[in-house]
Amino acid sequence: MAPSNELTGRDELTRRQIPSMVLSDGSSSSMTPLPRSDIEKDPAKGAQKRFSVHGNAVVAGGAGTLGLHACDALLEHGLSGLMILDIDPTTSQKEFDDMRSKFPNAKITTLKVDVTDEVAVDSAFNETVDLLGSVDALLCFVGVVGCMETLEMPVSQWRKILDINTTGSFICAQAAARRMVAQGTGGSITFIASISAHRVNFPQPQVGYNVSKAALLTLKNCLAAEWARYGIRTNSISPGYMDTILNEGDGIAEHRRIWASRNPTGRMGGPSELTGAIVLLASSASTYINGTDIVVDGGGIVF
């Protein structure tokens, strides 16, 4: 016979209550109303409005090459304010200065933040609201790799990769969504996942990275379902191999050759080739895009 305390535990389990997800009803009074679908008479004005980006964005991990290109593109499409969070934003100080010169009417600022520290992230979002007035979009570029045979991989490395790539993205998304809900204005959240979320990379073993990015796809789905009623759209982008400093060097020349040879386009991607998807998901053109992953990899996923 089982001890009485176990029976009590089971009894409590059967009486538990769990919260229920609430979806938007899509009515005109909801946060997801049907927009007007008028055809603009002025073609230039129509094109400009279609991909316009409004308000302020937080770009986590924005000091890297992909993040910098994304920030520039968002500002080109009308972003008013930009907060760049990074573990070391000083590495791109010149690029930030150039960005401020190019967009003198935009407020562009940076903060040194460890995205795995929820207290620091919360403080950074408070400062963002104080400086910019609101948080209307979040883009999460945060991520570390780590190529190693799985049999030899320390558990500490596994934990670090998931803590930064997956948990760090969750912490940023939760902080952004809390501000968006409080504002009552909705917003856009975009995770930068990877083709590694869809398939096993070859030839390099990188199980921790692959799992951390695959987890982002499910995280994106869950948040898209839960937060739509607040007018928050949550999507992701899965880039293929991008030709940045992280993929340079003689030591990986053979890997680069293999990556290109297994891609229908025959090459790696350029940072600017990611910006179209970035702008789309943050813009007024994506009001009905929620829970989507956009693969930008030159067709590599077809294999």
| pLDDT tens figures, 216-226 | 999 999 999 99
| Structural domains of the chain in order of their starting residue, each with its CATH number | 52-243+270-298 (3.40.50.720)
Write down the catalytic residue from 80, 209, 230, 238.
209
| pLDDT tens figures, 228-239 | 999 999 999 999
Taking a C-beta distance cutoff of 8 angstroms, is the pair 52, 79 a contact?
Answer: no
Report the chain's C-alpha Rg in angstroms.
21
In the prediction, which pLDDT does 104 show?
98
The question of whether 283 is a catalytic residue gets the answer no
In the prediction, which pLDDT does 217 show?
98
Average pLDDT over residues 294-303: 95
Query: What residues have CB less than 8 Å from 14, skipping those under 6 apart?
Result: none
Taking a C-beta distance cutoff of 8 angstroms, is the pair 65, 91 a contact?
Answer: no
Rounded to whole angstroms, the Cα distance separating 27 from 46 reads: 26
Write down the catalytic residue from 80, 169, 194, 236.
194
Rounded to whole angstroms, the Cα distance separating 284 from 287 reads: 6
Write down the catalytic residue from 92, 196, 212, 213.
213
- By C-alpha distance, which of 164, 183, 83 is closest to 125? 83
Whether residue 8 is predicted with pLDDT greater than 80 in this model: the reply is no
**What is the CB-side half-sphere exposure of residue 169 using CA atoms within 13 A?**
28
Cα 150 to its chain centre, rounded Å, is: 27
Rounded to whole angstroms, the Cα distance separating 138 from 173 reads: 7
- What DSSP element (H or E) covers 86? strand 81-86
The question of whether 213 is a catalytic residue gets the answer yes
DSSP string, 202-242: SSS--HHHHHHHHHHHHHHHHHHHHHGGGTEEEEEEEE--B
Mean pLDDT for the chain overall: 94
In the prediction, which pLDDT does 7 show?
53
CB atoms within 10 A of CB 131: 13
* 0.75 exceeded by pTM: yes
The question of whether 209 is a catalytic residue gets the answer yes
